């Protein structure tokens, strides 16, 4: 008898939670930046290759990394791998996007805190991370 009551309570709670969540903006750091986009307006190519991309991946730095949504950061990681191979001649291995995203977030934050005057392209920071973690090798 208790399980059906709990199930109904849970469903009602979820309904009201979802209803109130519709008003929450999922892109709070993105508003007013050059990386702003509507939730349904996700491009096929975000950053690389540059000729096809909506945003210039070379202009993404540790200073503006926080302006990207998780979707954009994940796309940056995915699209940067072939760009790194082409540019630097590195052989990259498949990566776990979320793991790399967490590490890139930490690296950008650390660089901003320890060297506030330094600005570095995120593709170079990503290459450094790939080398340190063994996901990129040079022949």
DSSP state of 46: S
pLDDT tier at 73, thresholds 50, 70, 90: very high
- pLDDT tens digits, 9-39: 544 545 444 444 444 455 556 676 788 877 7
Q: How far apart, in whole angstroms, are the C-alpha atoms of residue 112 and residue 74?
A: 20
Q: How far apart, in whole angstroms, are the C-alpha atoms of residue 71 and residue 74?
A: 5
- Cα-based angle 57, 138, 99 (whole degrees, multiple of 5): 55
Rounded to 10 deg, the angle between the 97-114 and 70-88 helix axes is: 90
pLDDT tier at 92, thresholds 50, 70, 90: very high
Q: How far apart, in whole angstroms, are the C-alpha atoms of residue 44 and residue 51?
A: 13
Q: How far apart, in whole angstroms, are the C-alpha atoms of residue 42 and residue 23?
A: 20
Does residue 99 have a pLDDT over 90? yes
pTM of full prediction above 0.95: no
Residue 132 has a pLDDT of 94
Average pLDDT over residues 84-112: 93
Q: How far apart, in whole angstroms, are the C-alpha atoms of residue 123 and residue 46?
A: 14
Average pLDDT over residues 83-98: 93
CB 74 within 8 A of CB 114: no
């Amino acid at each position: 008898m208790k399980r059906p009551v709990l199930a109904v309570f849970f469903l009602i709670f979820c309904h009201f939670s979802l209803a109130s969540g519709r008003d929450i903006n999922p892109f709070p750091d993105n508003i007013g930046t050059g990386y702003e986009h509507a939730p349904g307006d996700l491009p096929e190519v975000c950053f690389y290759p540059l000729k096809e991309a909506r945003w210039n991946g070379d202009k993404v730095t540790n200073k503006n990394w926080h302006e990207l949504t998780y979707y954009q950061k994940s796309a940056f990681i995915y699209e940067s791998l072939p760009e790194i191979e082409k540019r630097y001649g590195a052989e990259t291995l498949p990566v776990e996007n979320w793991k790399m995203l967490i590490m890139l977030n930490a690296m950008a934050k650390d660089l901003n805190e320890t060297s506030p005057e330094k600005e570095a392209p995120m593709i170079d920071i990503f290459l450094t991370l790939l080398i340190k973690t063994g996901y990129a090798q040079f022949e």
